[in-house]
């Protein structure tokens, strides 16, 4: 059991709404980016002198560029429907972690500088001018939002706090108040090609090592190809898959699926990252620049299809944004959607008989699944709405004899964020990460106690990293967390390929 440096919440029955604890999280601040992280992205190295005016000017620019921001800052009626929906509020009780209150941090400033009522009536409508304290609140609380959009699902107008927090982060970047975690990582992608800063030789080494491991374990020469020109499939996966646990077991699973299907595939050392932290900071240009690496790799390697590995926000950017950011993809094979999710490929291969799974390999496990927020509420995996829930479940039920779903209020479109998404997966935010995981762990505890669930499958690199770190604080073993394709890897029958 891990040492407990912070107050870990006591688990409740779902759904429990905490009493307000004003200021509970007000001091929790992620590290601010220094000039070395800011300047490569074109942001000021430190807080600019006239930041109040600069921030207002940037907000005005964004109001003209984003319909979401324009509409959502105006139309909230403060009905409170969202107030008990955010995992960070449910875990911390801090009222500024209620979605509407988080939005109001921006809305109050917007009203003061941009609306006739705010300019004339001031506090009566909640309008507030910039102060250093309010900017600090922005920094702290807009980095306690994982942009999971559970609030938007429940809002009668669909107001999306993610859109607000993205805009807030973009405004803060533009005045020199960036977040170290996100901006340092984006710099690494531009420079090296992936979030972890793994250079090509390290990748080659890792993949060769994996080939040897799989050969030793199975007797089959499963390949992990890199930069193979003329391959059919460009496979893009989060760089955590190259070494972290249980991510890498998922990577082995993808490779076995491709191997058994007889698909020609390759990864790219230039586009060695599925994740796109440009989304977290709400910056279209950064997001586009990162996405273009994938387009360039696809052209260079002359592939016919693009497939993405298990990652939540990466799949949102890939599924929902890639065509806008880096399309059109008319040079790829039009018979396949661009891009595809590995779950589509694996499901299709199971259905067609191209791969066979022996579920008894996972007979020692009772498995549940954590729907990743970005996959659940921002994407599909197939032609039908809801395929983002059905495809992973089909794959899991094919690979595991015992599968149990968690409570309906914590799964599918109502799923809770793992607590580490949206640019919060950094050590200095561990306090809010633990608290934000509370609703998920409550739902997990429920199926552990009712149905003897032993493992929780995940399809996102951030979820996997977050849960392996945070579950021990709640008394659960980090080994409970499995990659979906790790379970496939256990069950897949290799050899005998016609």
**Running DSSP on this structure, what letter comes out for residue 455?**
E
Among 54, 57, 71, 478, interactor with other proteins by CB under 8 A: 71
Indicate the residue among 222 and 332 with the shorter CB distance to other proteins. Answer: 332
Taking CB under 8 A as the binding criterion, the range among 40-48, 66-74, 177-185, 239-247 that sits at the site for other proteins is 66-74
> Could you tell me which of 309, 369, 303 has the C-alpha nearest to residue 341?
309
Contact in structure between 312 and 421 (CB atoms under 8 Å): yes
Does 351 participate in binding other proteins (rule CB under 8 A)?
A: no
Indicate the residue among 95 and 401 with the shorter CB distance to other proteins. Answer: 95
Question: Rg of the chain's alpha carbons, rounded to an integer?
Answer: 23
Beta strands in 159-304, from DSSP E residues, in sequence order: 233-236, 265-266
Q: Is the peptide bond before 328 cis (omega within 30 degrees of 0)?
A: yes
Does 46 participate in binding other proteins (rule CB under 8 A)?
A: no
Indicate the residue among 36 and 121 with the shorter CB distance to other proteins. Answer: 121
Indicate the residue among 11 and 81 with the shorter CB distance to other proteins. Answer: 81
Does 139 participate in binding other proteins (rule CB under 8 A)?
A: no
Taking CB under 8 A as the binding criterion, the range among 112-120, 203-211, 396-404, 439-447 that sits at the site for other proteins is 112-120
- 26 by Cβ neighbours in 10 Å (0-12 / 13-18 / 19+) ranks as middle
Does 344 participate in binding other proteins (rule CB under 8 A)?
A: no
Indicate the residue among 338 and 453 with the shorter CB distance to other proteins. Answer: 338
Indicate the residue among 35 and 123 with the shorter CB distance to other proteins. Answer: 123
Give rounded-to-5 percent helix, strand, coil for the chain.
55, 5, 40
> Could you tell me which of 290, 227, 214 has the C-alpha nearest to residue 254?
214
Residues in Cβ contact with 162 at an 8 Å cutoff, skipping those fewer than 6 apart: 145, 147, 148, 149, 152, 422
Does 332 participate in binding other proteins (rule CB under 8 A)?
A: no
Contact in structure between 280 and 308 (CB atoms under 8 Å): no
159: β partners:
none
Beta strands in 169-297, from DSSP E residues, in sequence order: 233-236, 265-266
Binding mask 79-98 for other proteins (x = CB under 8 A): xxxxxxx---------x--x
Does 1 participate in binding other proteins (rule CB under 8 A)?
A: no
Among 9, 91, 337, 422, interactor with other proteins by CB under 8 A: 337
Does 42 participate in binding other proteins (rule CB under 8 A)?
A: no
Shortest Å distance, C-beta 261 to other proteins: 22
Binding mask 275-314 for other proteins (x = CB under 8 A): ---------xx--x--------------------------
Residues 423-452 that bind other proteins (CB under 8 A): none
Residue whose tokens read 């499901």: 347
Shortest Å distance, C-beta 167 to other proteins: 12
- 12 by Cβ neighbours in 10 Å (0-12 / 13-18 / 19+) ranks as middle
Taking CB under 8 A as the binding criterion, the range among 39-47, 260-268, 323-331, 473-481 that sits at the site for other proteins is 323-331
Indicate the residue among 86 and 355 with the shorter CB distance to other proteins. Answer: 86
Q: On the CB side of 257, how many CA atoms lie within 13 Å of its CA? A: 29
Does 455 participate in binding other proteins (rule CB under 8 A)?
A: no
Contact in structure between 449 and 214 (CB atoms under 8 Å): no
Shortest Å distance, C-beta 473 to other proteins: 26
Indicate the residue among 70 and 451 with the shorter CB distance to other proteins. Answer: 70
Shortest Å distance, C-beta 200 to other proteins: 28
Residues 158-217 that bind other proteins (CB under 8 A): 158-160, 163
Give the strand order in the sheet containing 305-308: 265-266, 233-236, 305-308, 340-341
Does 6 participate in binding other proteins (rule CB under 8 A)?
A: no
Among 55, 56, 76, 244, interactor with other proteins by CB under 8 A: 76
Does 234 participate in binding other proteins (rule CB under 8 A)?
A: no
> Could you tell me which of 244, 245, 243, 309 has the C-alpha nearest to residue 271?
309
Exposure string for 344-375, b = 16+ CB within 10 A, e = fewer:
bbbbebbeeebbebebebbeebbbbbbbbbbb
> Could you tell me which of 393, 415, 391 has the C-alpha nearest to residue 463?
415
Indicate the residue among 20 and 204 with the shorter CB distance to other proteins. Answer: 20
The phi and psi torsions of 460 (rounded to 5 degrees) equal -150, 135
Residues 377-416 that bind other proteins (CB under 8 A): 377-380, 383-386, 388-389, 413
Residues 140-159 that bind other proteins (CB under 8 A): 149, 152-159
Contact in structure between 401 and 357 (CB atoms under 8 Å): no
Residue whose tokens read 């911390």: 92
Shortest Å distance, C-beta 228 to other proteins: 25
Shortest Å distance, C-beta 72 to other proteins: 8
Residues 246-275 that bind other proteins (CB under 8 A): none
Taking CB under 8 A as the binding criterion, the range among 197-205, 259-267, 324-332, 436-444 that sits at the site for other proteins is 324-332
Q: Is the peptide bond before 59 cis (omega within 30 degrees of 0)?
A: no
Taking CB under 8 A as the binding criterion, the range among 117-125, 188-196, 262-270, 356-364 that sits at the site for other proteins is 117-125
Tell me if residue 189 falls in helix, strand or coil: helix
**Running DSSP on this structure, what letter comes out for residue 321?**
I
Tell me how crowded residue 184 is: count the other CB atoms within 10 A of its CB.
Answer: 22
Indicate the residue among 318 and 491 with the shorter CB distance to other proteins. Answer: 318
Does 372 participate in binding other proteins (rule CB under 8 A)?
A: no
């Amino acid at each position: 059991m891990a040492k407990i440096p912070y107050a870990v919440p006591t688990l409740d029955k779902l759904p429990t709404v905490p009493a307000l604890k004003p200021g509970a999280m007000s001091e929790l601040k992620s590290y601010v980016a220094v000039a070395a992280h800011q300047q490569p992205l074109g942001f000021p190295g430190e807080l600019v002198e006239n930041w109040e005016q600069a921030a207002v000017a940037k907000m005005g620019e964004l109001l003209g560029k984003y319909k979401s921001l324009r509409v959502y800052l105006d139309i909230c009626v403060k009905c409170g429907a969202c107030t008990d929906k955010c995992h960070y509020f449910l875990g911390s009780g801090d009222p500024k972690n209620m979605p509407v209150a988080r939005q109001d941090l921006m809305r109050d400033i917007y009203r003061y500088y941009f609306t006739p009522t705010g300019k004339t009536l001031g506090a009566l409508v909640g309008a507030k001018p910039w102060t250093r304290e309010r900017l600090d609140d922005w920094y702290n609380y807009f980095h306690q939002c994982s942009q999971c959009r559970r609030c938007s699902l429940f809002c009668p107008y669909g107001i999306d706090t993610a859109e607000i927090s993205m805009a807030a982060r973009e405004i803060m970047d533009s005045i020199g108040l960036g977040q170290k975690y996100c901006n340092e990582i984006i710099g690494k992608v531009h420079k090296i090609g992936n979030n972890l800063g793994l250079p090509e030789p390290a990748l080659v080494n890792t993949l060769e090592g994996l080939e040897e491991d799989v050969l030793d374990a199975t007797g089959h020469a499963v390949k992990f190809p890199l930069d193979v020109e003329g391959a059919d499939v460009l496979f893009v996966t989060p760089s955590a898959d190259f070494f972290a646990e249980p991510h890498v077991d998922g990577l082995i699973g993808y490779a076995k699926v491709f191997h058994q299907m007889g698909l020609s595939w390759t990864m790219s050392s230039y586009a060695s990252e599925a994740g796109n932290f440009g989304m977290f900071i709400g910056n279209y240009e950064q997001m586009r620049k990162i996405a273009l690496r994938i387009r360039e790799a696809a052209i260079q390697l002359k592939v016919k299809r693009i497939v993405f590995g298990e990652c939540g926000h990466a799949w949102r950017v890939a599924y929902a944004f890639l065509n806008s950011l880096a399309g059109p993809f008319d040079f790829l094979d039009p018979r396949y959607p661009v891009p595809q999710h590995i779950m589509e490929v694996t499901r299709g291969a199971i259905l067609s008989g191209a791969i066979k799974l022996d579920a008894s390999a996972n007979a020692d496990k009772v498995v549940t699944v954590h729907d990743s927020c970005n996959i659940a509420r921002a994407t599909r995996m197939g032609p039908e709405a809801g395929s983002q829930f059905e495809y992973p479940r089909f794959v899991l039920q094919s690979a595991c004899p015992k599968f149990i779903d968690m409570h309906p209020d914590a799964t599918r479109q109502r799923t809770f964020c793992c607590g580490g998404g949206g640019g919060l997966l950094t050590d200095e935010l561990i306090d809010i990460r633990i608290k934000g995981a509370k609703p998920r762990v409550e739902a997990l505890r429920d199926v552990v106690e009712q149905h003897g669930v032993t493992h929780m499958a995940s399809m996102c690199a951030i979820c996997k990293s977050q849960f392996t770190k945070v579950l021990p604080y709640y008394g659960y073993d980090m080994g409970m967390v499995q990659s979906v394709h790790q379970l496939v890897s256990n069950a897949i029958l290799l050899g005998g390929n016609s």
